[in-house]
Every structure is written in C-alpha cells, then in structure tokens.
Chains A and B, each alone.
Chain A
Amino acid sequence: MSDPDATDWQILRELQRDGTLTASEIGRRIGLSQPATWRRIVDLRKAGILHPQRLRIDPEKIGFGVTVFLGVKLATKGRVSLEDFERAVAAIPEVQTVEHVLGLYDYRLRVVARDLPDFERVLRRRIMTLPGVGNVEANVLLSEERRPGPLG
C-alpha cells in the first residue's frame, strides 16, 4: 500500500480505542462508506501496520496477583549462544514477554505469578537455571497504563 494517509490514521485511532468496532461503525464516525473503510482496514492489515487483536485481561481476576519485570544480563556471552537462552526463556509459561535490549541488561522479561512465593519459585527454579543467565534485577509492577502514542 502507499503510505498511510490522514484517513488511515483516523481509522487506526478509532480501532485503538475499541478493537471490536466494525468497518461500518468506524466509517460512520469518520464519514466514509463501509466498503471504503473495510478496504482500508484490509490494506492496513496486509501492510502489517494493524496486528491481530489482543485481549486485555485483568490479571488479578484470574489469580495472577504479581507482575515482575526482570532485567537479565548474560554471564557467558559467546560461549552460550543467544539462541539457546532465547529458546529456553520463551518456553517458560510464566514469562509473558521477552525483549532483547541494548544497555545495562541484555534481556527484559515480563513475568506473572500468583503471589510472591509463587514468583520466588519461578525465579529460582526456572529463571536462575536458564543457560548463561548472569545478573538479574527485579522490579515489581505497581501500575501500568498504555497510551495512544502519536495517534492520540
């Protein structure tokens, strides 16, 4: 597709507010026909700008009371390949996200647990035993908000 124009941005803005809106509902809000809106949504998906939807779940209501972000430094870079670490860490069910970063740490992990004792179990049995793991820093999440970003 050609570069997204102002109308595409409007569509993205509406969808960011509510991912369940239909093409006709969005079209009505921004003054575009249903088929034209639908075509643009399909193009945005094809261009990879619009990813599949995601459920935003309240973790406490399903029994996950603790979210912790871990900064992980690899101890033995070069000897253990990054792929080994990445494969092993991505397979841990409690690890929700893994980001490779540059800076003070090599990886940033988002970990969920039922409570602090459960988190300690995950940390000791699963994280500290990962191949090549070195220094680990933990920060317990207190609050979180997602912003609309440049679309807002």
Chain B
Amino acid sequence: MLTDHERRILRYWQDEPSLTPGEIGEKVGLSAAQVARRMKTLRQRGVVKSIEAQINWPALGYAVEVSLRITLDKTVPRAFDEFLAAAREVPEVIEIQTFLGRVDARLNLIARNMPHYQEVYRDRILTLPHIADIEALMHVARIKAEEVYPL
C-alpha cells in the first residue's frame, strides 16, 4: 500500500502528470529531491505502470466512437481466447475489456464516419469468432474523463 507522502504525491501527480517534482514538492511540503525519489519508487514498484500520451481521436479524423457490448458463446471452450485474439487484429479497436456480468466483453471501436463504421462493423466485427449477441452504444459526449482515483 501507499505511505502518506506517496498518497499525497500521487494525488497531485495523477491530476497533472506534467508537474515537476519541485512543483509537487511545494504542494506537499517536501523537497524536489524527496519527491523525485518517491516518484521513482512508485514507478519501480509498478504503482504507476506508465505515463501515456493521449491521442484525441476525433481531432485526428475519427469522429465516431461506439461501445460494442458482446455476449460470447460459452459452450465453446476457448471462446474467450479466440475472440480476444481476433479482436486485437482489428486496427479500429482501441480498448478491449472482459467482464463478469450480463455482457462478457466490450470493444471500443472508432471510425472516421458512419459509412466507415458500417464497413468495419460488417467486415471486421461481425466476422469475429464465437459471438452470440452484440449491443451497440454510440458515444455522444464525455462528461468526465480524467480517470483519476479518489486518494
């Protein structure tokens, strides 16, 4: 788990990953060197797995985003593995999740426009193995997107 100092550093760091150790230090009352050392430990322990650049897909011309909720045919023993392996081959899939619940998996799919979406959906999604049912949710807007943890 986290020490008090680590928790406070992480709180500011996740809100604004571009902050320098010195800037975080001013907020939490530690020196830049003390903060830098703890940031390094947090990365080494895998608490912070990576620092990612975020691509704004609509700005790159991908205006359509659809969440495909998928139920798999579980009578097939390797349905999950084979479905996931095939889904990874679709370039328009930007996120793959598996669940315990009413749906088994979810694919986040992006497309340039509706005709492009329809093409990807027909040629690349409906042909994925072991699908029993698909429901689509069309993204309208992101109200909250930071994905920070309540520390």
Using a CB–CB cutoff of 8 Å, the interface residues on chain A facing chain B are 4, 12, 15-16, 18-20, 47-59, 61-64, 69, 71, 86, 89-90, 93-105, 107-108, 110, 112, 137-152
Task: Answer whether residue B75 sits at the interface, using C-beta atoms and an 8 A cutoff.
Answer: no
Q: Are B97 and A143 in contact (CB under 8 A)?
A: yes
Q: Given A95-B144, A147-B88, A149-B92, do A57 and B139 touch, yes or no (CB 8 Å)? A: no
For chain B, which range describes its interface: under 10, 10 to 19, 20 to 34, or 35 or more residues?
35 or more
Residues 1-57 (chain B) with a chain A CB within 8 angstroms: 1-2, 7, 10, 13-14, 16-18, 45-57
Q: Is A101's CB under 8 angstroms from B139's CB?
A: yes
Q: Which of A96, A139, A150, A151 contacts B100 (CB 8 A)?
A: A139
B55 adjacent to A12 (CB under 8 Å): yes
CA distance A141 to B135 in the complex (A): 18
Q: Are the C-beta atoms of B49 and A57 separated by less than 8 Å?
A: yes
Given contacts A16-B52, A19-B51, A49-B60, contact A101 B137 (CB under 8 A): yes
4 more CB-based (< 8 A) A-B contacts, given A62-B2, A93-B150:
A51-B54, A53-B52, A57-B149, A62-B10
Q: Is B102 an interface residue (CB 8 A)?
A: yes
The 3 tightest CB contacts between A and B, nearest first, are A139-B101, A93-B150, A15-B53
For A89, list chain B residues within 8 Å (CB). 143-144
* Contact residues in B for A95 (Cβ distance below 8 Å): 144
B146 within 8 A of A: yes
Say whether A112 contacts B145, CB under 8 Å.
no
Closest B residue to A93 by CB, please name it. B150
Judge whether B52 and A19 touch: CB under 8 Å. Answer: yes
